[in-house]
Each structure stands twice: as structure tokens, then as C-alpha cells.
Amino acid sequence: EAGVAQSPRYKIIEKRQSVAFWCNPISGHATLYWYQQILGQGPKLLIQFQNNGVVDDSQLPKDRFSAERLKGVDSTLKIQPAKLEDSAVYLCASSPFTGGLHTGELFFGEGSRLTVL
């Protein structure tokens, strides 16, 4: 079974520029997550989709971050304009969870490392 695919793996931009990250979840997984992991910290949830609807985006800085999930499958996360503090690894995860007694395991991609200069 193919895992969660993310691209690009690495991106270096200057502040005020824009960047986009792409995620392809495991086939059939209804739920997709974007996490931000700043160096030395745990992953922080930015946005969670179930199918193509948003179920939680309470910690997404909506003035600069946006995300969409096309047809309930692939997703893109965009940052415009980027700030220095956006330097982090952006992790995409998917889960077959749709409620009920499921273990809720998340399957993570390898992440996209962003450096903002």
C-alpha cells in the first residue's frame, strides 16, 4: 500500500514570498490533516478535512494560510505571504477514521521542510 506522498520535500523562500505544498493521502482515507512542526516542538494541527469538508481550522492563520482538498482526495496548503516564523516542517497525515470505534491511527508523510529567509 502506498503511503502518504508530499511534495516538495524542501523549499527555501524569502519572507513575503508565497509557497504551496501538496499532499496525496492513502487511497480511501476520508480524513486528511495538515500539521506544522517547528524545530524542537510537537506537531500542531493547522487544518483537518473529512472528505472535502473542513472539520477544524481553528489554529490556521487564515490571513496568510489557506488549504483546500480537491474532490476529497489531494490537498494543497498555501502560505502567502510567508513570515520568518513559518519556517517549519509541514506534515500531512491521513486516516480512514470517519467516527465510531476506530483506533484513529494517523499515517504521516515525510513532510515538507520550509525555510523562510
Which residue number, 74 or 97, has a Cβ lying nearer to other proteins? 97
Could you give the CA distance from residue 93 to residue 105 in angstroms, rounded to a whole number?
10
Which cell numbers in the block locate residue 67? 488549504
- Least distance to other proteins, CB of residue 16, Å: 28
Which residue number, 61 or 81, has a Cβ lying nearer to other proteins? 61
By CB under 8 A, name the binding residues for other proteins.
4, 31, 33, 35, 40-45, 48, 50, 55-56, 91, 93, 95, 97, 99, 101-111
In angstroms, the first-to-last Cα distance of the chain is: 37
Which cell numbers in the block locate residue 113? 521542510
Q: Is the preceding omega at residue 81 within 30 degrees of 0, hence cis?
A: yes
Which residue number, 77 or 106, has a Cβ lying nearer to other proteins? 106
- Least distance to other proteins, CB of residue 11, Å: 15
Q: By C-alpha distance, which of 83, 81, 82, 57 is closest to 68?
A: 57
β-strands 10-13, 112-116 pairing: parallel
- Least distance to other proteins, CB of residue 99, Å: 7
Which residue number, 85 or 104, has a Cβ lying nearer to other proteins? 104
